[in-house]
A and B are shown apart, each in its own frame.
Chain A
C-alpha cells in the first residue's frame, strides 16, 4: 500500500500545505510518495526529498506541467495511479481543480477537504460551512482526497532523505493554455500558514483603512485577511478572503476587526486557537466564538492596540 501526494509549489518553492498533506498521507498508512509536477522544478524536488516521512519523490519536469493546468496534471496522475491506494492533494486551487478530474477519469468518488483520518478508508470532513462534520467511508479501490491544511500538523520540512526519480511523462492535452498570472505581491506570511492573522470586514468602511490593520500586522508578523463582505464591497482583493468559499485558516491568534461574523466567515476561522473580536456592535455574532471580545470603535481601538504592542 502506498500513498501519492501531489506537491503544491510554484516551481521554486514547496508550499507548506504539502507538509500537512504528507501528515494525512502518513496517517492513512503505507509509503508516501510526493509527485512534483512542474517545469524547472528541481529545487522543489530537492525540498520534497527532505520532508520527513517521505519514501520517494517523483519529478515530472516538463513544460506541459509548468502551470499545473488541470487537464495535463490530471492525465499525468491517472498514468501513475495504478501504483497507489490513495491519491492526496492540498485543498488549494490546484488540488481542488485537478483531483475531481483524476477521480472521474478513474471512475471513483472523490472526498473533499478532509480534516481527520479515522482509518485507511474512513475520513472526517466539514459540510454546511463547518456547521456539521460528516464521517465518510469509501470502498473505492483508490481513494482520491483533498486535504484541508488546518486539520493536520505539517510534517517536518527537514530530516527526510527520499530518493528522487525523474519521470518522462509529458502529457499535453492541448485543450487549455496558460496566458498570464497576476500574483498579489506581499512580504507578509501566507494567510494559510501565518501564526497570526488580522482580518477586516465591512466595518473597515474602505480599502484605505486596511492600513490600520497593516500597522498591527507589521508588529505581529501577521497575515491580513478579510471577510467576504469586505471583498464584495471592493475594499480588498479576493485572495484575502477568509471563509467557506475563501481560505480556511487556523492560526494561533486570529483578530477579527469590524467583522460581524456571518456563518460563512466563521467557517473559515473558527478553528483558530485564540480569537479576538473588535466590533462596536455588542450583538455581533462574532463575539460568540471570540475568546476575547472588545466592544469598541475600531478606528480608536486598533491604533491604540498597535501602540501597545
Chain B
C-alpha cells in the first residue's frame, strides 16, 4: 500500500509574525521556515505504518516554490521514501492544492493519503477534506488514532465533545490531529541519507491542472491590541477588582 503525505512549508511555530507595513500580508523576510507541525505528525504516522509493514512506500509531496524542497528533504530524513514537488510560484488556495494533489495521487495510485488537519499559517483546515471530496473518498478528520485491517480503516476523531470512532472504506483520507503521535527527530545518518533519496519536480501544467482562485485577499491587518492591564498585589485585591472595577463576578 502506497501512502501519500502532503506537507506544507510554513513559518516556524515559534516565530511571532508581523504584518507587512503595506498590509499586503505578513512579513516573511528572514523568517525561519519549517514543515507545518500537523504535516509532520502525518509523515510520522505514515512512516510508522511502513515500519509495521502495513504501508509499502511513503511518498511526500509539497506544492509551492523551489524552497519547499527543504521541507521535503526534512520529511525524507524522517523516513519517507521519496518526494514530489509540484513547483509553482503562485500563491494557491486550498481547492487548487487539492486538485493538484489529486492528480499526483491518481498517478501514484495511493491507497491512503494523510494530511495535517490544518496549516498554522493560513489556518484554513480545508485541503484534506477537499481532496477527499474530489476523489470521492471517505475522510477521517482530526484523527487521534488509526488502524487498518482488511480493507477498512478505523479512525478515532477528536470532536467538540469528546471522541468519535468511524470506519472508512479504503482508499481513504486522514487528517492528523495533535495526539495521533509524537514525531521523531531525524538522526544525522538519516539526514545524510535523505540527500540521496529521489525528488521529482513537476509543474501544475505537467499535471494538467488549471489553478485559479476566486478568493482574493484584499488586505492583511494586525489585530486590535489589548490595552495594558495591571498587576494586582493580592488575591483580595484581585477579587475586589473583578467585583468592583470589571464587574464580572
Instruction: Return B55 CB to nearest CB of chain A, in Å.
Output: 21
Contact: A140 with B242, CB < 8 Å?
no
Which residues of A sit under 8 angstroms from B142, Cβ to Cβ? Answer: 93, 97
Bound-state CA distance A125–B168 (Å) is 32
Identify the interface centre among A220, A273, A292, A293: most chain B CB within 10 Å of its CB: A292
Interface residues on chain A, number (Cβ under 8 Å):
89
The answer to whether A167 has its CB under 8 Å from any CB of chain B is no
Segment from A24-32, A106-114, A152-160, A203-211 that makes contact with B:
A106-114
Cβ 8 A contact of A137, one of B138, B168, B215: B215
Instruction: Return A7 CB to nearest CB of chain B, in Å.
Output: 14
Interface residues on chain B, number (Cβ under 8 Å):
79
Q: Given known contacts A67-B164, A131-B17, A308-B235, is B123 in contact with A175 (CB within 8 Å)? A: no
Q: Given known contacts A100-B129, A139-B214, A228-B178, is B118 in contact with A245 (CB within 8 Å)? A: yes
The answer to whether A80 has its CB under 8 Å from any CB of chain B is no
Which residues of B sit under 8 angstroms from A107, Cβ to Cβ? Answer: 95
Q: Given known contacts A70-B129, A132-B220, A177-B167, is B123 in contact with A291 (CB within 8 Å)? A: no
The answer to whether A287 has its CB under 8 Å from any CB of chain B is yes
Contact: A71 with B217, CB < 8 Å?
no
The answer to whether A170 has its CB under 8 Å from any CB of chain B is no
Q: Report whether over half of chain B's contact residues are helix, strand or loop; otherwise say mixed.
A: mixed
Contact: B26 with A292, CB < 8 Å?
no
Contact: B230 with A291, CB < 8 Å?
yes
Which residues of A sit under 8 angstroms from B136, Cβ to Cβ? Answer: 175
Q: Given known contacts A97-B141, A177-B167, A184-B161, is B179 in contact with A132 (CB within 8 Å)? A: no
Cβ 8 A contact of B230, one of A138, A263, A292: A292
Contact: A175 with B169, CB < 8 Å?
yes
Which residues of B sit under 8 angstroms from A273, Cβ to Cβ? Answer: 248
The answer to whether A179 has its CB under 8 Å from any CB of chain B is yes
A238: nearest chain-B partner, CB-CB: B158
A303: nearest chain-B partner, CB-CB: B235
Instruction: Encode B203-243 as 1/0 by CB contact (under 8 A) with A.
Output: 00000000001111111111100110111101110110110
The answer to whether A183 has its CB under 8 Å from any CB of chain B is yes
The answer to whether A83 has its CB under 8 Å from any CB of chain B is no
Contact: A128 with B214, CB < 8 Å?
no
Cross-chain pairs A/B with CB under 8 angstroms, 24 sampled: A69-B166, A93-B142, A109-B93, A109-B213, A110-B126, A112-B123, A129-B123, A132-B19, A136-B215, A174-B169, A176-B166, A180-B164, A181-B159, A238-B178, A238-B179, A239-B162, A244-B123, A275-B229, A276-B238, A292-B232, A293-B231, A293-B232, A308-B239, A309-B239
**Chain A residues at the B interface, C-beta cutoff of 8 Å:** 10, 67, 69-71, 74, 92-93, 96-98, 100-105, 107-113, 122, 125-140, 173-184, 192, 196, 220, 228, 231-232, 237-239, 244-245, 247, 252-253, 263-264, 270, 273-276, 282, 287, 289-296, 301, 304-305, 308-309
